[in-house]
Each structure stands twice: as C-alpha cells, then as structure tokens.
C-alpha cells in the first residue's frame, strides 16, 4: 500500500512539475512579449564606422547590402544634442573636393543626397561661416551605408551621427542577416528599452 | 620654411596646455598639476593644482597662471600658491591664458569667449563674443589664442577656419585663414585650427589629420612644421614657441611634447 502511495505521489509530483514548467515558460514568454522583448540594434562602440580609434578605414556598407529589407532597416541618425552645427560638416560635404566660390567643398559626401543642410538661428546671408547649420537626414533616401557616420566620428567630427535600426522597417528576424555578416559583431539583440537608449550606451548586467 | 623634429619630451602623465618662458623652460598643465621641464626635456619640478589644469601661462614676472574649471590659480615659479581668481560665470573652463602689458586674458571655452582682466583680477571686457554667433565657433571644445608684442590677440576660430585678430578691447581687426581640404595652405575638416601660438610668425595646430604649420602675419603659409608624426587621433594639440623659434606641440594621445627646429629661412 505504502509503495503504491509513493508511486502515486511520484506521478503527481512529476505532473505538477511539468505543469509548473509549462506555465513558467509561458509566463516568461508573455513577460518577454509585454516588456522585455528583444530587438536588433547597432552597438555604436563596436561598429567600425563609429568606433573611436579606428581611422583610415572605409565605411563597410554591410548594413546596406545584407539586410533582407529593401533599402535596409538601418539608418544614419543625427543626435542633435551632440552635433556641432558646423559650417563645413565632413559628413555633409566631401571635404577633399575642390573649394567653390563660397569657400566650401564643391561636392557632397552622401551618394544618395540624403542629408539636408539649413542655416538656423539668426541667419547671415552674406557670410556662410557666420551661421549655425542643422543637418537633417532624409530617412526615405538613406540606406545606412555609413559614409557620413565614418566622417562624423572623433576626431574629425563629434560623433553625433550613428547607425540605428529603425523598428518601423526592421522585421526582427530571429537571426538578423546583418548580424551574421558583421565582422565586428556590432548588431546585437537587446531589450526594447535599451535599444532606444542613445547609441553606444550599454547598461551593466 | 622647413622644420626638423629634434626632440620628444615625455609628458610624465596628463598633458593639455603648454607654455615656454623666457628662459626656455617648458610648463605643462595636465591632470591636476603643473610640470616644468628644462630645455633638454628633464622634469625639473611639479606641483598640484586644486582642480584639473586645462592651461598654463608664464607672466613676465615669472608668475605661473593655471587655467582650471571655475578658476585661475596663480603660483610663483617654484609652485607656491600666490592666489586664485574664482568666478563660476566668467571662468567656467579656462583652456588658454595670455598677457598684454596691463591685462590677463583667459579663454573660457564654456562661453566661447576670451575674458580680459586687469592684473588684479577685475573683469574688463570680452573678446570674440560680440558677433552674430555669440562667440568663437569651437565645436572642438577649446578656446585658444596667442598675443603678440603689441598686445594684439590672435584667436583660433576653428569653426570659421580662421585665426582672428582682436584688439585687447575686443575690436575685430581682421583674420587669416580659409577652408581647404586639398591645399595645405588652408585649414581642413569641420574645425581648424584648434590651437595657435604667436612668435615671429603665426603657428597653428590642426586635428584630423594632425599637423602644425607656420604663417606670416599676412596669412601666407610659411611651411608645414610637421604632419604624420602625431597620433592620428590627436585633437586640441597645444602649441607654443620659444624665443629661439623652436616650436613645441603636444601629442594628446602619446602624452608627449614634440619639439621642432627651423632648418631654413
């Protein structure tokens, strides 16, 4: 009798455990969906285009070529609080091109002409150097090639432009094809809240 | 005009601003101290500053002025504190100091201006602030300037790719410099020159790629003093010139002072 009870107890225990594990997993999934969902994001401190210390490299362009989304889900984003609002922005102009009659580089850098430049504040129409400028990235044109990001980083620029995954475009693949190709392992899955933090900031733990 | 690289002085730690006195001693501000090197590059003495030192200058009477956050400390040549000027509004981040015959000038990068004080520390006027942009354009975060024997102030205005000339009262007299990413006579990048020194010529330091150059007072390039010798990530390289025309430039990554000597006229 006691042996039967023991066996029944064992079955019951296993059954309860199985239910708890199943519920736990489901609960975890729900929590993940509700608040802890992971998404892909570019870690600016790993991306070769924005990582400090790496100079003399070319923009790698893999975010443009490897993404499964047409024109890529990655965009260059200008963080205005960091931008110097310079007259001659190396991310806007090709600073190695010939100087024009205004004393500025004659060519733009972006191959898709995705950056607009406009004077802000009290504008001096006579002397372009007497103005601050705002640089606005047109996300309909930008394909995340990273050329402007590379030119914006220190010490040439101030590092205000970084590559970011745009979630209205990203289809959140289980295995992001950019992450598979990225030699710097700069595409990372992070909780939504962390992904929306300014680029390059990683929370401890 | 050609220069040759003759010496590397180990900065013995942090290096920001440098200055050379009339005897050829080299003063360096860095971390929270002032360091003094002899002409051979030997560390002669060092003393602490109350706050991280951003800049240093030596007055004609030998007093050493250290620019810091919120204040200027004044020492004698041995490092004994003579006094301090504190002003949270006018001296928020003192990245350069210089002298005219009767005044002390301090570059406040937090307000993009040069402050002029009398020798007793009373504020007289701003330099470089009375313009449509409300100050010097310094995306690089440093105000730097030099002063000639007549008291004319030569301020780096990197966002405009110029060195501007001002009277001590703040009147803009003119400028040298222009943007050019190809011709080395121009200043390239978003914002250059970042640093300037005045001697028998106008000496400038640039970032990305780092180089030092000399111009005559009409703005003609006399020569490229050095390029390629500095770490490529250098920025805001303080530059100084001594009475013999030797040029001193800080490598802000290697934490060293590179010394250059003229080899031809």
Contact: A84, B160; criterion CB under 8 Å: no
Q: CA–CA separation, B108 vs B131, rounded Å?
A: 16
The structural domains of chain A, with segments of one domain joined by +, span: 1-34, 35-195
Contact: A156, B189; criterion CB under 8 Å: yes
pLDDT tens per residue across span A98-129: 999 999 999 999 999 999 999 998 898 888 89
ipTM for the predicted complex: 0.93
Return the closest-CA partner of residue B185 out of B154, B215, B145. B215
User: Are residues B106 and B87 in contact, defined by beta-carbon separation less than 8 angstroms?
Assistant: no
Q: Is the pLDDT of residue A19 over 80?
A: no
The beta-carbon neighbor of A157 closest among B182, B190, B210 is B190
Q: How open is the CA angle B96-B23-B230, to the nearest 5 degrees?
A: 55
Return the closest-CA partner of residue A97 out of B194, B186, B214, B162. B186
Residue B198 CA from chain centroid, whole number: 9
Which tokens sit at A82? 């960091």
pLDDT score, position B187: 98
Name the H helices within chain A: 2-34, 62-66, 147-152, 177-181, 192-195
Is pTM beyond 0.80? Reply is yes
Q: How open is the CA angle B217-B221-B222, to the nearest 5 degrees?
A: 85
pLDDT score, position A52: 93
User: Are residues A80 and A169 in contact, defined by beta-carbon separation less than 8 angstroms?
Assistant: no
**CA distances for A80 relative to A135, A158, B132, angstroms:** 9, 11, 21
Number of domains in chain B: 1
Domain harbouring B163, CATH code: 2.120.10.30
CA atoms within 13 A on the CB side of A72: 21
Q: CA–CA separation, A159 vs B139, rounded Å?
A: 11
User: Are residues B236 and B15 in contact, defined by beta-carbon separation less than 8 angstroms?
Assistant: no
pLDDT tens per residue across span A22-45: 444 444 444 444 456 899 999 999
DSSP string, B252-263: TTTTEEEEEEEE
Distance from CA of B44 to the nearest CA of A (A): 33
pLDDT tens per residue across span A44-57: 999 999 999 988 88
User: Which of B131, B134, B178, B190 is the mutation pick for testing A, counting most A CBs within 10 A?
Assistant: B190
* Straight-line distance from the first to the last Cα atom of chain B, in angstroms, rounded to the nearest whole number: 5
User: Are residues B114 and B105 in contact, defined by beta-carbon separation less than 8 angstroms?
Assistant: yes
Mean of all residue pLDDT scores within chain A: 84
pLDDT score, position B255: 98
The mean pLDDT values, 10 residues at a time, for chain B of 265 residues are: 96 97 96 97 98 97 97 97 98 98 97 98 97 94 97 98 98 97 97 98 97 98 96 97 97 98 81
Q: Is the pLDDT of residue A4 over 50?
A: no
**CA distances for B43 relative to A163, B47, B125, angstroms:** 46, 12, 37
Return the closest-CA partner of residue A154 out of A22, A5, A62, A44. A44
Q: CA–CA separation, B191 vs B195, rounded Å?
A: 11
Return the closest-CA partner of residue B56 out of B87, B84, B33. B33
The answer to whether B189 contacts chain A (CB < 8 Å) is: yes
Which structural domain, as residue segments, surrounds residue B54? 2-264
Q: Which residue has the tokens 């290697």?
A: B254
User: Which of A52, A53, A88, A102 is the mutation pick for testing B, counting most B CBs within 10 A?
Assistant: A88
Q: Is the pLDDT of residue A153 over 70?
A: yes
Q: Mean pLDDT, to the nearest integer, of A161-169?
A: 95
Three-class DSSP category at A153: coil
Q: Is the pLDDT of residue A20 over 80?
A: no
Which tokens sit at A37? 């969902």
Q: Mean pLDDT, to the nearest integer, of A69-83?
A: 95
């Amino acid at each position: 009798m006691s042996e039967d009870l023991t066996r029944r107890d064992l079955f019951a225990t296993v059954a309860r455990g199985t239910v708890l594990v199943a519920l736990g997993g489901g609960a975890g999934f729900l929590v993940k969906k509700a608040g802890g969902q992971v998404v892909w994001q570019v870690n600016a401190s790993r991306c070769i285009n924005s990582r400090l210390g790496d100079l003399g490299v070319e923009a790698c362009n893999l975010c443009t070529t490897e993404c499964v989304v047409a024109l890529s889900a990655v965009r260059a984003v200008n963080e205005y609080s960091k931008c110097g609002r310079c007259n001659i922005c190396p991310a806007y102009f090709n600073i190695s091109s010939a100087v024009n009659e205004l004393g500025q580089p004659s060519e733009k850098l972006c191959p898709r002409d995705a950056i607009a430049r406009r004077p802000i504040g009290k504008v001096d129409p006579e002397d372009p150097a007497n103005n601050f400028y705002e640089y606005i990235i047109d996300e309909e044109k930008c394909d995340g090639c990273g050329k402007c990001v590379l030119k914006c980083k220190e010490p040439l620029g101030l590092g205000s432009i970084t590559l970011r995954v745009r979630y209205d475009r990203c289809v959140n693949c289980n295995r992001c094809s950019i992450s598979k190709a990225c030699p710097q392992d700069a595409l990372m899955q992070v909780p939504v809240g962390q992904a929306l933090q300014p680029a390059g900031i990683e929370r401890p733990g | 005009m050609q220069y040759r690289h003759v010496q590397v002085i180990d900065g013995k730690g942090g290096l920001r601003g440098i200055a050379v006195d009339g005897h050829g001693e080299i003063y360096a501000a860095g971390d929270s101290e002032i360091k003094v090197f002899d002409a051979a590059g030997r560390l002669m003495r060092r003393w602490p500053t109350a706050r991280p030192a951003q800049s240093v200058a030596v007055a004609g009477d030998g007093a050493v002025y250290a620019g810091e956050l919120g204040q200027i400390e004044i020492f004698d040549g041995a490092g004994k504190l003579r006094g301090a000027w504190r002003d949270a509004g006018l001296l928020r981040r003192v990245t350069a100091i210089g002298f005219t015959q009767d005044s002390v000038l301090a570059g406040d990068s937090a307000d993009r201006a040069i402050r002029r004080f009398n020798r007793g520390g009373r504020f007289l006027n701003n330099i470089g602030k009375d313009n449509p942009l409300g100050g010097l354009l310094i995306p690089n975060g440093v105000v730097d300037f030099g002063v000639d024997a007549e008291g004319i102030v030569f301020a780096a205005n990197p966002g405009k790719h110029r060195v501007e000339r001002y009277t001590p009262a703040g009147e803009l007299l003119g400028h040298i410099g222009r943007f050019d990413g190809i011709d080395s006579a121009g200043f390239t990048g978003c914002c250059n020159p970042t640093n300037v020194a005045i001697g028998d010529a106008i000496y400038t330091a640039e970032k990305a790629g780092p180089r030092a150059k000399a111009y005559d007072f009409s703005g003609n390039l006399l020569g490229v003093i050095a390029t390629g010798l500095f770490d490529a990530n250098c920025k805001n390289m303080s530059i100084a010139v001594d009475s013999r025309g030797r040029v001193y430039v800080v490598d802000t990554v290697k934490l060293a002072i590179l010394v250059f000597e003229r080899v031809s006229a």
